[in-house]
Amino acid sequence: MNRWARPARPWAPIAAGVLIIALWWLVAHNAGSGWVQVLGDLVFGALLIGIGGPFVVVSRARVGVRRAPADGSAGLPVAVDVESRSRVRVRPVDPPGPEVFVGPVGPSRAVDTTVTLVPLRRGVYGSVTFDIASAAPFALQWWTKRVQLALPAALHVSPRCGPAQRVPLRSEEGTGDLLDRPRSDEGLPRGARPYLPGDPRRLVHWPATAHAGHLMVQELEQPAADPVTITVELPAEAEAAERVAEGALGSVVRLLHDGRPVVLGTTEHSGPVLAAVADRRTAGRRLARAVAAAGAGSVPRPGAGP
Amino acid sequence: MSIVAAVRRANQPGVPEDSVRLRVACLGAVLVAMAACASLQEIAWATALLAMVLVSAGTIFSHITRAGPPGWVKIMVAVGALAACVFFFRAVSSPTGGITSIIDPLTVLLVAILVVHSFHVPSRRDLLFSLGASAGLMAVAAALAIDLRFGLFVVAWLACCFWGLTEMWTSVSGGGRLSVTGLVLALGAASTAAAAIFLVLPAPVVSSRVDFVAHAGAGGSVGVPGGLAGDSGVPTQLSRAGSPTGRTRVGGYLGFAASLNTALRGTLGNALVMQVRAQRPSYWVGETFDTWQGDSWSESQPVPRRPLRESSPFVLPISPGDAPFGQSDLQTFYIASATANLVFHAQSANELWFPAGKLYVDQDGTIVSPLGLGSGSIYTVDSQVSTATPAQLRADDSPVGLPAAVQSEEEQLPHPYPRVLALARSITAHDTTTYGKVESLIRWIGAHTHYSENIPPLPSGADTVDEFLFGNRVGFCEQISTSLAVMLRSLGIPAREAVGYVPGSFDPITDLYQVHANDAHAWVQVWFSGYGWEDFDPTAAVPAAPPSPGVTALDDVGSALGRIPGVPVVLAAVAVGLVVFFVRRLRARPATWAGRVARSAERAGRRAGRPRRPAETLADYADRLDELGGRVDPAWSRLAASVQASAYGGLDPPREAQRALALEAKRARVPRRAPAGSADASERPLVRR
């Protein structure tokens, strides 16, 4: 991390500035005119501030993340609110994202601006890395500084939802008559209740909905069948681990969509974890935290692989 | 990246610039730069105005077509720029132009480029180019600026540039604007940096021959060939010898004529005579005198009538006594007010850039212009300045080496000066070299004489040197230098009197020496065989005479009063008076509507001859006023009741009503009171309706 601001491609403006001043000085000393030198000094002063001023602006810039979601998905944009007292250009580096200007438009107090991050891989982000830049006050030279900003809450980036894999179910193993039989793992309808976000569509009870005037779903008995247990073993190689995690998430989502309880087994920083997951978000978080079995004990960073 | 790719990348059109303010700022900078050039006569005002109109039109056209500039515009810009460059190089390389007159073609080149470029300024980068080109134009203008009025253009141009640059940041950052604090900090930092560089860098001096200006100014031909003129303040009026009764010379100085009367130092004044750009401060000599007549100096050989015919630059003939070696000193003289037609220069003039086809050059190096040198005249001299050190001069003991005729002139005395000779011998008894004798004499003069301009003229026929050395030993530069010259001549050392100007104050902004009338000076030139004529100024060693407080105070007051410009002072006084009047009126105005009603009542009563008595309440007073009016309409009582209700009952009427009441009171009138005597005038109405 660079503590100090760095000029962006500085040699061209510096060389041009020095050349202009040298020529100007030469003209002044050939003509002997004081006004030429006075003007040259003023131009030099303006160039100096134009080239060096942004260093001060960038060094003094105070940028912070005010709001950020707790969950995101690899490859999908995540909007975070960034606050700055001065107008600076922000380019997200880790996770990456498009550059955007943040800070007040006009001489006002600090304002929040939305910065979009596009994480490429799953992981848990406690902070984000930005390149902040400025060319104030004269837009003659850009200076850049890399800063690491803590997020208000950890950002869990789940893997992309890959294609679901076929998961063999214990009750169906080797029976040959699996599809026409009533599904024993769902239990029997016990009644109807109002729809809650996350309820499977297939449980919508249309007669009750028509009667109540709003969506109603069947409430079932506790599943009689055992939950499906998916154990994820991530390889050490980052890309391969990403693919495995994507496949695992796809399978979990599919099973959840089918109404099956799922128990997900992963290896996290603290060690192996085996716990039920009730929805996609929980599964995504678990997979975001997952590391390769051999990497347990290390911090899962997206750039370094799970 | 290959060169072709780099060129292509550099040639890619930039993002169209939508900021109108940025364009206006850049246009302002360009217009100010053109106006600056026109004000310094680098381009004609008509040309400048045409260019300004075209640039303005081009800027509007560029803004309208910024998203898709027509292809023909780029071709037009390229052809126009090419034509301007061809014109520039032809002008510079022509026999009549040359590199020494680069300023005018350069101005035309920059103006032409700015005009054609203004039609194709779609992006921010192009606007930055406009700012840069305007900076070049300002630099060209600054090269000829010689006074502080140019600062107005500098300030205006800088304001436009800073505005443009901050607008550039606004445009780049999608609306980011500097706060007032940030703007002040940025400008303060830029100014501080500029000031620091200004202080650190050495002052520019003329160090090459790129551009020397020569301008005739407000003068005319002098009627007599080789004649001296202009010392009376009129450029072409022939000069005449000054005398104690005829103080009509330039600034009161009597020396820029065929003779120098040493009986009187005129009242020189503080008028600016000329500004000089020089590589180093020098004694700028106008003429030298070799014949001493007891009370005045004159030239043994007048300025020849046959001129030196050449074209500028003139290569001047070497005079006897010119320094055989030394260093070059380039000086440009800007005449500010009409002065003598002497071409001032440092020591030995070698080359002269002068706005005339001929010159008259005396054998002692005095150069006389055929033109009167009025305000605005400019010329440049390249002089050879002696670099001899005191040690070298002290070691110079070679024979005199002057031609016999010249030597006899430079040792001439009108009569023997036995007392002067005895004094000089006693002072230089232990000196064997010329330099040692000169130094001893100067040291003695510095220790035993005093400087003062406030002395009465010497009596007619009195010998200046005798009066000065053996009288009260108080005098001015002509008397001090003459005494040294006569003492040196009595010792057989060739010496002559030189008159001219010493550098006045130095202006660090314009880098010009400001030479005023009271910088006119006289000093001594002493011959050294190995080095020629060397300047010695005995006056510099002479302390001022004890001042006379009364005379000095009166002089100071008189000169201070004389310097006060009348019209501005009167205008300022009138302005201050008006401001005071209106402020007092505003302050006297009652703050509340009730106060305004009371004041209106008192005013109306006064007009009617019934002023309010000290103990009279407003209600009573209003009643009396209504009685005066016959109580036809008891308006005053009604108004007073409203005021009382507001003041004591807390019943403030609405704001609109307050205004209406105050207005009614202002318009209400009371009939004028009849002459006293018939009855109690204060109680009885004089007009009954």
- Across the interface, do A38 and B330 touch by the CB < 8 Å criterion? no
ipTM comes to 0.74
Determine contact: B350 vs chain A, CB below 8 A: no
Contact indicator for A245, A306 with CB cutoff of 8 Å:
yes
B199 interfacial to chain A (CB closer than 8 Å): no
Could you tell me which of A79, A81, A102 has the C-alpha nearest to residue A90? A102
Q: Residues of chain B with pLDDT > 90: what percent?
A: 24
Q: What is the mean pLDDT of residues A1-9?
A: 77
State the CB neighbour count (10 A cutoff) for residue B180: 9
* CA distances in angstroms from B51 to A124, B30, B226, listed in the order given: 64, 10, 44
CB-nearest to A31 from B174, B176, B210 is B210
Looking from the CA of A155 toward its CB, the CA atoms found within 13 Å total 29
Based on the fold, state whether residues B533 and B622 are members of the same structural domain: no
CB-CB under 8 Å, B511 with A137 = no
Q: How far is residue B54's CA from residue B67's CA, in Å, rounded to a whole number?
A: 21
- Strand B345-346 with B348-353, pairing: unpaired
> What's the pLDDT at B688?
36
Q: How confident is the model at residue A288 (pLDDT cuts 50, 70, 90)?
A: very high
Average pLDDT of span A211-222 = 84
Whether A135 and B135 lie within 8 Å, measured CB to CB: no
What is the spatial distance between Cα A224 and Cα B413, in angstroms, rounded to a whole number?
Answer: 143
Give the per-residue pLDDT at B356.
83
Nearest to B224 by CA among B212, B238, B234, B245: B238
Q: Does B176 touch chain A (CB under 8 A)?
A: yes
SS3 B266: coil
Between B397 and A52, the higher pLDDT residue: A52
Which chain B residue has its CA at the smallest distance from A51's CA?
B190
Assign A94 to helix, strand or coil: strand
Give the list of residues 6+ apart from residue B431 with CB closer than 8 angstroms, or none. Answer: B437, B439, B440
Task: Examine the domain organization and report whether B352 and B456 are in the same domain.
Answer: yes
Q: What's the confidence (pLDDT) of residue A181?
A: 45
For residues B265-281, average pLDDT: 83
Domain boundaries, chain A: 1-157, 159-168+224-306, 187-222
> What would the mean pLDDT of B595-602 be, rounded to a whole number?
88
The top-scoring range by mean pLDDT among A97-111, A185-199, B655-669 is B655-669
pLDDT at B166 over 50: yes
Average of per-residue pLDDT across B579-599: 86
Between chains, do A105 and B201 touch, taking CB under 8 Å as contact?
A: no
B 82-141 residues inside an 8 A Cβ radius of A = 135, 138-139
Q: Determine, yes or no, domain membership for B688.
A: no
Q: Is B160 on the interface with A (CB under 8 A)?
A: no
SS3 B5: helix
| pLDDT number for residue A297 | 45
Closest residue of chain B to A103, computed from CA coordinates: B176
Q: Which residue of A has its CA nearest to B165?
A: A138
Structure tokens at B36: 């600056």
- pLDDT (tens digit, 9 = 90+) per residue, B64-120? 999 888 888 889 989 999 999 998 888 877 665 544 567 778 889 999 999 999 999
pLDDT classification of B303: cutoffs 50, 70, 90: low
Q: What's the rounded mean pLDDT across residues B132-150? A: 88
Within-domain flag for B159: yes
Mean pLDDT (whole number) for B547-562: 66
Interface touch A48/B193, C-beta < 8 Å: yes
Residue B241: burial class (beta carbons within 10 Å; 0-12, 13-18, 19+)? middle
Question: Quick check: B507 contacting A, CB < 8 Å?
Answer: yes
Question: What average pLDDT score do residues B471-483 get?
Answer: 90
Please give the pLDDT value at position A179. Answer: 46
What is the share, in percent, of chain A residues with pLDDT greater than 70?
A: 84
Same domain, B269 and B354: yes
CA B574, B576, B581, B585 dihedral sign is positive
Interface with A, mutate which of B150, B172, B330, B382 (most A CBs under 10 A): B172
Nearest residue of B to residue A24, measured between CA atoms: B139
A220 touches A188 (CB < 8 A):
yes
- Closest residue of chain B to A84, computed from CA coordinates: B176
State residue B95's pLDDT score. Answer: 60
CA distances from B402 to A174, B365, B530 (A): 137, 15, 11
Which residues in chain B touch residue A19, judged by CB atoms under 8 angstroms apart? Answer: none
Please indicate whether, in this complex, the C-beta atoms of B139 and A89 are within 8 angstroms of each other: no
Is B211's Cβ below 8 Å from some Cβ in A? yes
- A39 and B201 within 8 Å at the Cβ level: the answer is no
**pLDDT tens, residue by residue, A73-100:** 999 999 999 998 888 999 999 999 999 9
- Using a pLDDT cut of 70, give the percent of chain B over it: 87
Question: What tens digit of pLDDT does each residue of B15-37 get?
Answer: 889 999 999 999 999 999 999 99
Residue B496 covered by a domain: yes
Structure tokens given for B481: 């230098």
CATH of the domain at B299: 3.10.620.30
pLDDT digits (tens, 9 = 90+) for B339-377: 888 899 998 888 888 888 888 888 788 888 888 888 888
Give the separation between CA B211 and CA A255, rounded to whole angstroms. Answer: 90
Instruction: Please count the residue pairs, one from chain A and one from chain B, whose beta carbons lie less than 8 angstroms apart.
Output: 157
Say whether both B181 and B258 belong to one domain: no
Helix (H) or strand (E) holding B245: none
Inside any domain, residue B556: no
* pLDDT tens digits along B426-439: 999 988 888 999 99
pLDDT of the residue at B510: 83
Res B311 pLDDT > 80: no
Please state, as a whole number, how many other Cβ atoms lie within 10 Å of the Cβ of residue B61.
17
| pLDDT per position as a tens digit, B180-239 | 888 888 889 999 988 888 888 777 766 555 556 666 776 777 777 777 776 666 777 777
Question: In this model, does residue B678 exceed pLDDT 70?
Answer: no
- As a whole number of Å, the CA-based R_g of chain A is 29
A236 or A186: which leads in pLDDT: A236
Tally Cβ neighbours within 10 Å of residue B594: 23
| Residues 10-39 in B contacting A (C-alpha not used; CB under 8 Å) | none
The chain A residue lying nearest B143, using CA atoms, is A33
Q: Tell me the shortest Cα–Cα distance from A271 to chain B, in angstroms.
A: 48
- The answer to whether the Cβ–Cβ distance between B203 and A37 falls below 8 Å is yes
Mean pLDDT over residues A130-154, rounded?
Answer: 92
CA distances from B567 to A125, B207, B272, B575 (A): 77, 43, 20, 12
Interface residues of chain A, partner chain B, Cβ below 8 Å: 24-25, 27-46, 48-50, 53, 87, 89, 101, 103-107, 134-140
Tell me how far apart the alpha carbons of residues B342 and B73 are, in angstroms, rounded to a whole number: 55
Q: Is B218 part of a structural domain of the chain?
A: no
Contacts with B168 from chain A: Cβ below 8 Å:
138-139
Residue of chain A nearest B137, judged by CA positions = A36
* Average pLDDT over chain B, rounded to an integer: 83
Give the pLDDT confidence score for residue B323 in this predicted structure: 56
CA within 13 Å, CB half, A114: 6
Q: C-alpha distances in angstroms, A65 versus A148, A158, B304? A: 10, 21, 90
Cα B209 to chain center, whole Å?
A: 25
Looking at residue B518, its pLDDT comes to: 86
Interface contact B182-A138, CB threshold 8 A:
no
Please state the domain count of chain B: 3
Residues in chain B: 689
More confident residue, A123 or A184: A123
Say yes or no to pLDDT of B683 above 50. no
Find out whether A255 and A228 touch, Cβ atoms under 8 Å: yes
Mutate one of A19, A23, A29, A37 to test the B interface: name it (highest B CB count within 10 A): A37
Is residue B579 a part of any domain in this protein?
no
In a domain, residue B125? The reply is: yes
pLDDT of B251:
54
Q: Is residue B551 part of a domain?
A: no
pLDDT at A253: 92
pLDDT of residue B550: 64
Question: Locate tokens 């304002």: which residue?
Answer: A111
Contact B507 A138 (CB under 8 A): no
pLDDT per residue as tens digits for the range B105-122:
888 999 999 999 999 999
pLDDT of A213 above 80: yes
Domain-terminating residue out of B541, B563, B596 = B541
Give me the domain span that covers residue B650.
Answer: 588-667
* Alpha carbon of B141: minimum distance to chain A alpha carbons (Å): 8
Partner residues linked to B351 by β-bridges: B315, B382
Is the per-residue pLDDT at B134 higher than 90?
yes
For residues A220 and A203, what is the distance between their CA atoms, to the nearest angstrom? 9
**Widest Cα–Cα separation across chain A:** 105
Test mutation, B15, B148, B198, chain A, max A CBs within 10 A: B198
- CB spacing of B165 vs A25 below 8 angstroms: no
- B330 vs A25: CB contact, 8 Å cut-off? no
More confident residue, B267 or B377: B377
Burial class (CB in 10 A: 0-12, 13-18, 19+), A55: middle
